[in-house]
Structure 1
């Protein structure tokens, strides 16, 4: 059985959706939407992007939220992104 999306209303009365695995494990929870139609559009966007989305590993710095760089202006080579294949 494939996973499924559930649209629900959270404790603050916002509409959200969650992606569940076949065993019921919550894999992802969306941002808040104003109504069910917007949540459904969000699900459609996830469906469209998920199959072709690349995986990117991001290192974060707890102070800035970004990877710290030693150089004030990093070279273009340091901005190369490594994309991992979806499994």
Structure 2
């Protein structure tokens, strides 16, 4: 048997879904949704993108977060560049 999705209500009364493997292992849990229809739409979106989605590695940096720039430092576009005049 293949894995399947389950729509459920969590302890805080939020509607969510989870993806279960064939052996019942929880593989993923969604964020919360306003209602079951929205959760079903979320499942459809996962189904559509799962087979074609790229894999990216998100790495934390020493300054926290997963961005490409250091927290608190300006991005390259925000830095002032000083150019020497052409001679």
Q: What is the TM-score with the length of structure 2 in the denominator? A: 0.74
The answer to which structure has the higher strand fraction is 1
The equivalences for 1:46-57 within 5 A come to 46-57=46-57
Stretches of 4+ aligned residues off by more than 3 angstroms: 67-72
- Larger mean Cα displacement after TM superposition, 61-70 or 50-59: 61-70
Question: Which consecutive unaligned segments of at least 5 residues does structure 2 have?
Answer: 78-87
Question: What's the Cα RMSD here?
Answer: 2.2
2:76 corresponds in structure 1 to 73
The equivalences for 1:20-35 within 5 A come to 20-35=20-35
Question: Which consecutive unaligned segments of at least 5 residues does structure 1 have?
Answer: 75-87
The equivalences for 1:11-22 within 5 A come to 11-22=11-22
Give the deviation of 1:73 after TM superposition. Answer: 2.2
Answer with 1 or 2: which has the greater Rg. Answer: 2
